[in-house]
Structure 1
Amino acid sequence: MLMNTCIQGVLDTDFYKLTMQQAYLHQAPDVEAEWEFHCRSDEDLSPYLDLLREELDGMHRLAVTLPQLRALSRQAPYLQTDYLDFLYHFRFDPGLLRLGIDKGGLSISARGLQTDISLFEIPVLATLSELRNSVRYPEVTPEQIERSTLSKIAELHRLGDSVDLAAFRFSDFGTRRRFSFAAQQQVLGLLKQHLPEQLAGTSNPLLAQHFELPVVGTMAHEWLQTHQGLNYPLASTQKVALENWVREYHGQLGIALTDVIGIDAFCRDLDFQLASQYSGFRQDSGDPILWGEKLLARLEALKIDPANKTLVFSDGLDFSRAVALYRHFSGRVNTSFGIGTWLMADFGVNQPLNMVMKLVRVGRQPVAKISDSPGKILCRDRAYLNSLMEAFAVEASVRHQVLSQVV
């Protein structure tokens, strides 16, 4: 399965990149966008520029094979025939990427049709991570990866001594920051072998096929942010994005992301119809317990039984944090956990990169997210941020905090 590149194919990505690409193809095929890379770690990545450029220039050779396409159709029957045909003919165009050095640091951006450039996000990050790790951490061998992973598995077993983990489920969300493809493949194999009941799947479609695991994922921040640049009143964009997702998938893929404007704004937009159409909600920033309690209170106010919904937690988790959340919400609502960097990039002797590649513009319109955690803003347009927060009635203290992060 391994090749002489960091990325093994078009399907070596996060599944929600494909589900969103189908929605763009059907609902916004001509929309142009701009993405930018941002490293949150205090590390100079400029020495990897030439290696990164060489790897990314070769991405035009990647394609989906017919056996992979048939398997994907079985994995995800809600992916429609016209989209599968589009995906079969899809090729990355490295000419849409801009790589260089800016202010002494690595600069990466992408511009083009959203249907073309959205899929760059995961391969760019995973490639940079693997190149950097291969140079910086030669001591991370398969033996070290196995020791570290088996230690994590033993930790979950120990946690099970004090709490019933019969309903505890987690998925691999680690592709974008993985140590390497080989490491992710090795770890996933160990998890499937030793935690077959708890491992619910992986967000990587290629590895899901290889290990015969469920593929998991619905939408990312970009889906809701893209609507900020479409022809909708700004205050309605979050709700319209959620409605358009239902229109695309008719109740399937029903986990909604809540933190593009913040949980309070999300709860205000969550009416009875939307709450009924979605099977659950995903947390990706802020205090997870406060987030969950606010959602449960909103569902109860709408007279909807939380026991029929699922809360998905995916922000900086390890087994200890995940089990604590599982215990807190047990008996009130279903829970699931997406665990990424800790499983797929942290092996005890290395420091994973904290990096993102985010949508910053749709057409001529800046877009942004106002997450529930400080430090996750990637927007340089203060006027737009002010307009966005005003449209969604973001409280003054949060506005001040958000604007203080904009240079």
Structure 2
Amino acid sequence: MSNEKIDRWLINSLMDIDFYKITMLQAFYHAAEFRLVNVQWKFACRNKEGLDLTPLIPEIQKQLEHICTLSFSEQELDYLAKLSFIKPDFIEFLRIFKLNMKFIHLHCDGENINLRFDGPLLHVSLFEIYALSIISELHTYINCGGFDLFVAREKLASKIALLKAEGDLTGFNFIDFGTRRRASKDWQEEVLKTLKTQLPDSFLGTSSVHFARTLGLPAVGTMAHEWFQSWQAVTRLADAQIAALEGWVREYRGRLGIALTDCYSMDSFIRDFSDPYFGKLYDGLRHDSGCPFVWGEKAIALYQKMEIDPLNKTLVFSDSLDFPRMIEIWKRFRGRIKVSFGIGTNLMNDVGNVPLSIVIKMISVNGKPVAKISDEPGKSMCEDLGYLQYLASQYGIDPSIVRISK
């Protein structure tokens, strides 16, 4: 444990967030189903090293209090307003938007941080990424005492060299998904500048709205699990996945068309997505759990069954990637379907320290439990095993194999 003190604010802009938080917030804002919805989110650390994060609590509290003083600037709103799918009424909502500490509950629970956000969906959803970024950077500087910039740069250089050694990288591209688990904001900025210069044809952009704006990069992102989970509480449970897919189409009319497949498992997604209506409207699918090769083969078969040429669609892989893994997946599917990658921790927190594996997940809507099951049991997060098992039964999954992940 370092004695280093944090004498700066880690988040200075509400745009320092993943792009899909903005796109989902607009969809929630326009959907009548979510006007009066209250939600609860819960923090979890998946590291198995027995890390004690509780000494970070006072600084986490201070940093969260600071983000509750922030507003979107006119320059930031102008940037968002120029995006064709961001609507004027949502810009006006963001103009008066402010986070509120009364929705945050933070205390020590043994060696664990008990952090929850509880309040109106529209006013607590954005806390997720800010809090994760704060905790990750505090871990870097307080728990780890910072990092050796030379080591970090060498590691980044080796990744770039690995890609360049492949020679022809036609069809290979990747996106920065690392905001939530970055070693630091400054390091993320350096990495993005380096990639923009060194890999201009392969590096497509970033999920960080702030750095997309300030560095002239494309902002990339569509939807996350919270979009699918929220629908569990406002429609018939067995129809929640279809309702989420239709709700997204209603908002974006074919834009931002990469669908996440693993809220309930890929097999149940195939069941609900097999209508060519969805197959033609959505540009592709995103993988976030389970074997990427099995998943990719299922995705190609799904498009072929719908008589859609897979070469016109894109598979986005974003589950625990590193550069060798991305190359392996790309070689498996190139020439059969378009492939892209969203890489997070290995890109933005491979600096010589043990990075945190942390998440904040929605666990209830209007007092009712919600959950994701995924294609990997360890990624499920719910506080009600009975509900999780019932949810599994509604989506053709054996209830006996699901378990609550702490």
Task: Confirm or deny: 8 A CA contact 1:59 1:94 kept in the other structure.
Answer: no
Q: How does 1:231-250 map to 2 (within 5 A)?
A: 232-250=235-253
- The answer to whether structure 1 residue 262 and structure 2 residue 265 are counterparts is yes
8 Å contact from structure 1 (residues 63, 88) kept in 2: yes
Written as runs of structure 1 = structure 2, the 5 A alignment for 1:145-164 is: 145-158=152-165, 160-161=166-167, 164=168
Distance 1:168 1:8 in 2: 33
Alpha-carbon contact 2:233-2:365 (below 8 Å) kept = yes
Of 123, 127, 133, 1:116 maps to 123
8 Å Cα contact 2:373/2:381 also seen in 1: no
Asked if structure 1 preserves the Cα contact closer than 8 Å seen for 2:378 and 2:405, the reply is no
**Structure 1 stretch displaced more, 56-65 or 243-252:** 56-65
Q: CA deviation at 1:352?
A: 0.5
Q: Which moved more, 1:384-393 or 1:209-218?
A: 384-393
2:37 matched to which residue of 1? 31
For residue 300 of structure 1, what is the amino acid of its counterpart?
Q
How big is the shift at 1:55? 0.9
Instruction: Describe the SS at the equivalent of 1:375.
Output: helix
Shift of 1:89: 1.5
Q: Extract unaligned runs of 5+ from structure 1.
A: none
CA contact (8 A) 1:168 1:336 kept: yes
Aligned to 1:93: 100
Query: In the alignment, which of 352, 357, 362 is matched to residue 359 of structure 1?
Result: 362
Q: Distance in 1 between matches of 2:160 and 2:70?
A: 34
- Note the C-alpha offset of 1:166: 1.8
The structural deviation recorded for 1:135 is 1.5
Number of paired residues? 395
Q: 1:192 aligns with which of 182, 192, 196?
A: 196
Corresponding residue for residue 59 of structure 1: 67
Deviation, structure 1 residue 401: 2.3
1:375 equivalent among 356, 378, 395: 378
Quickly say closer, same or farther: Cα 1:406–1:199, change in 2 above 3 A.
Answer: closer
The one-letter amino acid paired with 1:23 is: A
| Alignment partner, residue 307 of structure 2 | 303
- Give, in whole Å, the separation in 2 of the partners of 1:261 and 1:211: 36
- Distance in 2 (CA, whole Å) between partners of 1:144 and 1:208 is 26
Mapping for residues 8-407 of structure 1, pairs under 5 Å: 8-27=12-31, 28-41=34-47, 42-74=50-82, 76-138=83-145, 140-158=147-165, 160-161=166-167, 164-230=168-234, 232-270=235-273, 271-347=275-351, 349-394=352-397, 396=398, 399-403=399-403, 405=404
Note if contact 1:145-1:187 (Cα within 8 Å) is conserved in structure 2. no
Q: CA deviation at 1:183?
A: 0.8
Q: TM-score, normalised by structure 1?
A: 0.95
Shift of 1:142: 3.4
Of 368-377 and 130-139, more deviation after overlay is shown by 130-139
Contact persistence 2:175–2:220 (CA under 8 A): yes
Deviation at 1:7, TM superposition (A): 1.1
CA deviation vs aligned residue, 1:247-301 (integer Å, no higher than 9, x gap): 0000000000000000000000011111111000000000001001111111111
Post-superposition CA distance 1:93-119 (Å, at most 9, x none): 122100001243111000011111010
Aligned-partner SS, 1:337: strand
Q: Is the 8 A contact 2:288 2:318 kept in 1?
A: yes
Whole-angstrom distance in 1 between the partners of 2:258 and 2:359: 22
Do the aligned residues in 1 keep the contact of 2:53 with 2:111 (CA within 8 Å)? no
Give the Cα–Cα distance (whole angstroms) in 1 for the partners of residues 327 and 22 of structure 2.
Answer: 30
Give 2:9's aligned residue: 5
Give runs of ≥4 in structure 1 deviating > 4 Å. Answer: none
Q: CA deviation at 1:406?
A: 6.0
Retained in 1: the 8 A contact 2:233–2:366? yes
Give per-residue Cα distances to partners, 1:154-191, cap 9 Å, x unaligned.
12112x14xx3122110000000000111101111111
Instruction: For residue 137 of structure 1, report the CA deviation from its aligned partner.
Output: 2.8
**Per-residue CA distance 1:289-318 (angstroms, 9 max, x = gap):** 100111111111111111110000000111
Distance apart, 1:209 and its partner CA: 0.9
Shift of 1:321: 0.6
* Aligned partner of residue 218 in structure 1, secondary structure: coil
Q: CA deviation at 1:71?
A: 1.5
